[in-house]
Structure 1
Amino acid sequence: MAYIDLPCDSASVWSKLLDLYKDVAACCDESSLCSTLEQIARTAGGGDESAIGGLRAFFKSSEDAPRFFGTTLPFIAETASQLKVELDKEIKRIPFCSAVHRTVSLSRRLVATLLANALLCAFPHEKKGSFSFVQFYKGLSHVEADRRSSQAAKFKCILHYFDRVREIGLAGLNGYIMIRRHKAKSLQMKDWLSNADPLCHVEVLSRGSIEDAGSMALQADFAARHLGGGVLRTGRVQEEIRFCINPELLVSVLLVKPMDSNEAVSIQGTERFSRYSGYGRTLKYAGDYQDSNQCDKWGAPLTKIVAMDALNLGRASAKDQYSEEKIGRELTKSYAAFHSPVPDLSPELPLFAATLSKEIITEALTSHLNSTDRWASNFVSRPIEEATSLDAFADGIANDVIRLAQPESWANHFAGKILSSASDSLQAGYRAVATGNWGCGAFGGDPQLKSMIQWIATSASGRPAMLYYSFDDTRVAELKPLVDGISAARWNIKRLMKALLDYERAQKKHPKTTLFDFLQSELQR
């Protein structure tokens, strides 16, 4: 079994690092900090320490520099120094999450010490997949202004995590983070084409993001094969953003070996600490976020995120994605992500609880409840903060008690509405799947195809529903009416699967015909 190389493995190296951490705590400006971090990086194992100089650019333009050097940095240094103490409390050596050792569970306190050591460049950084922040800091002085800006936004999210942990104290960080590697069973195309299981309910959401879905949903991470993607470099899209607003996810960069084509990785127990706005080049840090998701009995959020890497098609092979081989690969990958041999929803978690975002509640109620009903009309016409409980609305009473009066009552009723076709799976304790346009940016995927593939995989996994976040992408603007039509026609998995395979042949004859157009024509037959 392979184990992680840690800064505290060598007694002599660790002793030097502890002394350097004291120097870090005493730093009062960016020059002294960069100089000390360069010494730490050299002690940790070499590489281009000069990249650390990017920190100078960040702090010269930061209004928060005095607070950082006065409070945040000393806490980070103290947290880093506790690595061996926390390690000795629970595990002597940390194994890689690999095909040999598929599940790794670490306390959130230990994770915080690992992140602090990474932030101080105490991990070797000369190879790809390194857990060092050396290359991250280089991005803070990137030649492109928008890269510098988005990198600064990521850094602010991570620093805010340490500010929040400082407020509660390391000892107050409760619970465990569980990282699990999932391998799909071997499924051939004939298995998909003979699967008569019904297709699950689908909810299409044009507003909000996957992280808004709450603990009732298995939340998709559109991952790279190496978890984290470019988060420790200058990456700034879905996976990298998620790893910065939930910084505890960063530990998976250290622990998880690259995924194979039939594997996915789930991470449960991380907390969201930051808000953000924008995406990619417009990414901005938007302040503190209070995670309201339910926690398990140890104190860790029940949030479960599943990482799955899509095919990187590129322009040259984008049309190949409609082939049986490519569709089969994406089905296997998404099935590995969504399938669970046992129920994965804690019986302690109330149905949908009160963790739904304002956007989800407003949009779904508008779509699914009769707007002529007095309480429904009132609900969607007022700000969510001023709304009342479902029972109060039913009685025609407009009392401003939503945050205190029976939140589970209306949340449970709401869940029953949008997941009405999924009662058996909900009773069995399976989460819905929250996903979206997986692999449809730089990887060249067609969101119309990916939505159908994920619908099939979600259904085959026995999940009650797929919550699909379209991000207002016009390419999937007709997803909801198409889903409604397919559901009304009572198509099952094998019928939709056959249609996807037929599309490749049809597309060769009529290259301008989109998949959705083709499926609509199939419904008319």
Structure 2
Amino acid sequence: MSSEMDGGDSWRGVPLSEMYGSQSPWGSPEFSLVSPSFNHAVLYHVPSDGCLADDKPPKPQIGHDKWDSEHVRMPCSSHSLYPVEDSNGESHLKKRWEMIESALSKPIRNSHDLANTILSYNTKFRNTWKFRGLHKLFNEYLEEEESQYFFDVTLPEIAKLALALPKLIQSPIPLLKKHTNRSISLSQQQISCLLANAFFCTFPRRNSTKPTSEYNSYPFFNFNTYRFYEATDSDSNLEKLKCICHYFRRVVTKVPGGVVSFTRRSVPGRALPAWPRSQRPLGCLPLHVDASRTIEDADGLIQVDFANKYLGGGVLGHGCVQEEIRFVICPELMVSMLFTEVLSPNEALMIIGAERYSKYSGYGQSFRWAGPHCDGSPRDSSGRRRRALLAIDALPYSSLSREFSRDAITRELNKAWVGFSFDTDPQSERAQYPGVATGNWGCGAFGGTTQLKSLLQLMACAQARRPMAYFTFGDTKLRDEIVDMYNLLARHNVTVGQLYKYIVKFSQEKDVSQSQLNLYLEQVVKSGTSASPPPANRSAPSKRSDDVMETSITETVPATTTDLESQLENHSPDLFTEDDIDQSLLEVTIESEKKENPHTNTSTNNQSTDKNEVSTPQKRMSLFDTMQAIEGDQNPTASNTLLGNQRRNSLLNDTDASMDEDKSDPATELKKKITKKITDYFSKKSI
């Protein structure tokens, strides 16, 4: 490929066809097909020929409930118990699913009924969950006709979907834990059922914000744990709720027939590239830089999610930037929050098959739902939409000196490479397709520098041999800077290893707060100055390949990386929104990845798998009190005030809405009257 590049008015570089390796976005090789194995749990039945029916969802895989620390604890499990008081004031434990079935089988006419339904099986939050956001959405923000349609037609169907859980999910869902390489495949129908239960906040042990809770190292999943239904200070939060409501309206109207795969990749430290020694030339990398389009418009490419290490970031909180927006326009992504433990520095998550349901406009506080989106992407041989989302989390930085440190540079390179080299052939020297669609990863609220981040991603793509499409979100100056720098590096045959040394030398020799990285690189590359290798911060094995990709599930990353993340722990910005937020909810800091020693018990594996074996503190507790302690916060008000000191920087929420089917069922008549009439499902009422 020529090192000099030019393009159209909005883009520069090579055409997108060189990102696919064909003239069509769908001409790239398919990803590994769905095949049940010891490390790939498939929750639906796969026919012997591997082909799924096009016109109906696959049948659930038959299995048995597992109530343990290795699997998702399901709301419908017979082990899920809840403390209640009878008419005599005596406390006893009751099967929670029976409470949920009873609550969701009653009519729900308005947002207050919905709130009371959710609280009927989450009684300890009666004084703290006020549902102000829900009330504002349905009573002020939407037209009265739209709100009525939701409660009379859509909501009863969501309730039915939630109550179908025992039928649709018959096999246990494994947790995608740290330091493991594992996959989960679910049908879109199964995902909609799980999300319906999250909407109603039915998942056990997922409401607690305590640092000792079983799921402290996982994102929140019940929708109102981080007050998703409470926020009234921002229209963007109400718009996110509209996206979710629109998704449910779509899936209860027509059951989706496809499947979605979630794959966690963990690469041991010894198998990460030796960056200073890499001989891969940067000039061989096909590069496309676009200032007008967005990542989600890049059909056929691996689309990067600028993730929080707790998947979803603030999607169920106040956040409304890149990751949160992607999760609400493609809500099937949100189910990853149910079973994906916090990502380590050497890990990434790939999601294949999630469908897009909504259009949007704006960003942050200006975000708005802009109508339905019909996803036209074809399905692969396993029944998945040919949409691949790659979740990789950047570090937040409080200063340039930290961002430009050798440890930080190496950490970000490793993180990007682990993601970009997903499903590549380590023995091949040929380009790997499809390419990667990315942008200003780790910039914005995370405090990263676009000059550095674009170069690091360029290096990681070159190392993984994947073409790169970079989207600058309207910034034509940045587009030109990236292309001009690439041309310079390509003309002088600079390798990945050389560029790594140049960047590290820049951080050691220059005052990074006063210097321009691109100017420095231009000078050093043109002068032909060689950068002597900086002193190593860790010992490397004597024999090592730059491209070895092992699959050990027990190794952790080098200590220098976790030390760095520990230093950044107390200097994290709010990762999920650009504007002022209720500080009582946002006093959270990034949990140190230094604590990721594999000997540390992060999932409370010693928790009882039987209701009769619950461990007690210093003195014997009653069974009632014990279940309260396990199920959630004993003092919700106090614990939520201390949320910032107790829990990680990943603002996720658990929210429930209990919905019931009206036995008189006005749905049919209402559908006839309203469906044809309403063209814009959500129109904002002027307030």
TM-score by length of structure 2 reads 0.59
What's the offset of the Cα at 1:154? Answer: 0.8
Partner of 1:352: none
Matches within 5 A, 1:223-372: 223-314=307-398, 317-342=399-424
* Separation in 1, partners of 2:272, 2:174: 35
Partner of 1:179: 262
403, 425, 432: which is aligned to 2:431? 425
AA matched with 1:94: I
Identify which of structures 1 and 2 has the higher relative contact order when contacts are C-alpha pairs closer than 8 Å and 6+ apart: 2
145, 149, 169: which is aligned to 1:67? 149
Partner of 1:104: 184
* Separation in 1, partners of 2:183, 2:73: 18
Residue 289 to residue 237, structure 1, CA distance change in 2 (3 Å): same
Partner of 1:133: 223
Query: What does the per-residue CA deviation read over 1:266-292, in whole Å, with 9 as the maximum and x for residues that have no partner?
Result: 111100100111101111110111112
RMSD: 2.4
AA matched with 1:107: S
| Paired residues of 2:223 and 2:229 also in contact (CA < 8 A) | no
The percent of aligned pairs where both chains have the same amino acid is 33
SS at match of 2:462: helix
* Separation in 1, partners of 2:329, 2:167: 27
Gaps of 5+ in 1: 345-421
Partner of 1:468: 470
Report whether the alignment pairs 1:82 with 2:171.
no
What's the offset of the Cα at 1:137? Answer: 5.2
Gaps of 5+ in 2: 1-68, 80-94, 210-215, 528-687
122, 127, 134: which is aligned to 1:55? 134
Matches within 5 A, 1:477-488: 477-488=480-491
What's the offset of the Cα at 1:46? Answer: 5.2
| Paired residues of 2:119 and 2:126 also in contact (CA < 8 A) | no
| Paired residues of 1:47 and 1:125 also in contact (CA < 8 A) | no
* Separation in 2, partners of 1:185, 1:110: 33
285, 288, 299: which is aligned to 1:203? 288
Report whether the alignment pairs 1:445 with 2:415.
no
Single out whichever of 451-460 and 119-128 deviates more from structure 2: 119-128
Partner of 2:197: 117
* Separation in 1, partners of 2:513, 2:264: 39
AA matched with 2:468: M
Query: What does the per-residue CA deviation read over 1:116-142, in whole Å, with 9 as the maximum and x for residues that have no partner?
Result: 000012124222532111146555543
* Separation in 1, partners of 2:121, 2:181: 31
Report whether the alignment pairs 1:38 with 2:122.
no
Report whether the alignment pairs 1:520 with 2:522.
yes
Report whether the alignment pairs 1:167 with 2:173.
no
Residue 482 to residue 187, structure 1, CA distance change in 2 (3 Å): farther
Query: What does the per-residue CA deviation read over 1:39-66, in whole Å, with 9 as the maximum and x for residues that have no partner?
Result: 1333xx7586523343111111212202
* Separation in 2, partners of 1:229, 1:104: 21
| Paired residues of 2:131 and 2:229 also in contact (CA < 8 A) | no
| Paired residues of 2:181 and 2:263 also in contact (CA < 8 A) | no
* Separation in 1, partners of 2:154, 2:521: 55
* Separation in 2, partners of 1:72, 1:190: 51
Residue 189 to residue 114, structure 1, CA distance change in 2 (3 Å): closer
Tell me which protein shows more helix as a share of its residues.
1
What's the offset of the Cα at 1:167? Answer: 2.3
| Paired residues of 1:57 and 1:141 also in contact (CA < 8 A) | no
Partner of 1:156: 242
Matches within 5 A, 1:485-500: 485-500=488-503
166, 169, 174: which is aligned to 1:95? 174
| Paired residues of 1:219 and 1:305 also in contact (CA < 8 A) | yes
TM-score by length of structure 1 reads 0.76
Query: What does the per-residue CA deviation read over 1:6-50, in whole Å, with 9 as the maximum and x for residues that have no partner?
Result: 111127321221121112xx21212212211221333xx758652
What's the offset of the Cα at 1:240? Answer: 0.6
| Paired residues of 1:248 and 1:271 also in contact (CA < 8 A) | yes
What's the offset of the Cα at 1:484? Answer: 2.1
AA matched with 2:453: K
Single out whichever of 54-63 and 120-129 deviates more from structure 2: 120-129
AA matched with 2:75: P
| Paired residues of 1:136 and 1:234 also in contact (CA < 8 A) | no
* Separation in 1, partners of 2:198, 2:184: 19
What's the offset of the Cα at 1:489? Answer: 2.5
* Separation in 1, partners of 2:317, 2:423: 36
Residue 46 to residue 35, structure 1, CA distance change in 2 (3 Å): closer
What's the offset of the Cα at 1:524? Answer: 2.4
| Paired residues of 1:320 and 1:326 also in contact (CA < 8 A) | yes
* Separation in 2, partners of 1:37, 1:229: 24
* Separation in 1, partners of 2:71, 2:100: 21
Residue 492 to residue 202, structure 1, CA distance change in 2 (3 Å): same
SS at match of 2:334: helix
What's the offset of the Cα at 1:334? Answer: 0.7
* Separation in 2, partners of 1:101, 1:504: 34
SS at match of 1:306: strand
* Separation in 2, partners of 1:14, 1:298: 33
Residue 46 to residue 105, structure 1, CA distance change in 2 (3 Å): farther
Residue 189 to residue 285, structure 1, CA distance change in 2 (3 Å): closer
Query: What does the per-residue CA deviation read over 1:457-485, in whole Å, with 9 as the maximum and x for residues that have no partner?
Result: 1111121x111111134556511221122
Query: What does the per-residue CA deviation read over 1:186-219, in whole Å, with 9 as the maximum and x for residues that have no partner?
Result: 369982121111221211111121111112x111
194, 216, 220: which is aligned to 2:304? 220
What is the count of residue pairs matched by the alignment?
A: 426
Single out whichever of 252-261 and 195-204 deviates more from structure 2: 195-204
| Paired residues of 1:189 and 1:328 also in contact (CA < 8 A) | no
* Separation in 2, partners of 1:471, 1:295: 28
* Separation in 1, partners of 2:114, 2:472: 43
* Separation in 2, partners of 1:445, 1:287: 32
* Separation in 1, partners of 2:139, 2:227: 14
* Separation in 2, partners of 1:132, 1:279: 25
* Separation in 1, partners of 2:127, 2:332: 26
Partner of 2:673: none
Residue 49 to residue 150, structure 1, CA distance change in 2 (3 Å): same
AA matched with 2:245: L
Residue 278 to residue 181, structure 1, CA distance change in 2 (3 Å): same
